[in-house]
Amino acid sequence: MEQNKDLIQFDIPLAKRIHLNNSNSIIKKKLLILSPFILLLCSIFTLRLIRNVEIGPLDNLNFQSQINYDHRLLGHLPYAEIPKEKLVLIEPNIEVHMDMRDSLLKMREEAKKDGIYLVFLSGYRSINLQNDIFYSLKSIRNQEAAERARVSAPPGYSEHSTGFAIDIGDATQRETDFETDFENTDAFKWLIKNAAKFHFKLSFNKDNKYIDYEPWHWRYEGSIEALKVFESSNRKF
Ligand SMILES: [Zn+2]
């Protein structure tokens, strides 16, 4: 009897079992089974949210700085105006940077020896003149600034204000002045073959995404000053 009492005292208590048979319990059971999937979905959603909030703007910033790192405007680089004392008149209405004068005139002489007659159309242009060209022609042509910028630089963004740019035509085919057709002239073919010898380079070739091809527009890169001016432009765009 004493032994029995002890047995009762040390009896292992039975686990209390509740049968999950009401509707509330069924939902709980289902939730329990689905919880890993819900957790996974929440993690994916949170990760996407973090990416959008944190990485998204960073990407935009990188993109913007890539575009604006050299301060281009509508595809054109900013250029300071050359001091007046560095300008020389090479013919009526055409002034250029004094560093470029000899090379430019020599190039015209050498071309003449080959039976090619180069004509200079436009050299230095002040920022004020560029302002008139850009805004007056824009309104005449009823163009948006970006469209106009394809064929003319905004004021403060023209290579012509540096004195190192020259627009060249063919004296025997003046109808091609400032026209893409200039590329079919003997003058242009001669320039492509020989201009580099005189340190001239075509500024806006067919690869430029923002500025139209200008076969008549050449720039001088034969002095340290000119190279510094065009350093940004010579980096891959
Ligand atoms: Zn030009």
Q: What's the pLDDT score for residue 58?
A: 44
CA angle 11, 14, 17 (to 5 degrees): 175
C-alpha distances (whole Å) from 152 to each of 16, 63, 155, 167, 177 are 89, 26, 9, 13, 15
Calpha distance 75→153 (Å, rounded): 9
Q: What's the pLDDT score for residue 18?
A: 52
Q: What's the pLDDT score for residue 69?
A: 62
Helix, strand, or coil here: 162? helix
Q: How far is the CA of 59 from the centre of ligand 1 (A)?
A: 36
Q: How far is the CA of 47 from the centre of ligand 1 (A)?
A: 52
Q: How far is the CA of 214 from the centre of ligand 1 (A)?
A: 8
User: Which H/E stretch holds residue 168?
Assistant: strand 165-170
Q: How far is the CA of 165 from the centre of ligand 1 (A)?
A: 6
Q: How far is the CA of 188 from the centre of ligand 1 (A)?
A: 14
Helix, strand, coil % (nearest 5) of the chain? 55, 10, 35
Angle (deg, nearest 10), helices 186-194 and 98-113: 120
Q: How far is the CA of 216 from the centre of ligand 1 (A)?
A: 7
Q: How far is the CA of 167 from the centre of ligand 1 (A)?
A: 5
C-alpha distances (whole Å) from 219 to each of 189, 222, 229 are 17, 9, 11
Q: pLDDT means per 10 residues in the chain (237 residues)?
A: 51 55 68 73 64 45 52 89 95 95 98 98 92 77 77 89 96 96 98 98 90 94 94 79
Q: What's the pLDDT score for residue 209?
A: 83
Q: How far is the CA of 166 from the centre of ligand 1 (A)?
A: 6
List Cβ neighbours of 165 (8 Å cut-off, separation of 6 or more): 123, 158, 159, 203, 217, 218, 219, 220
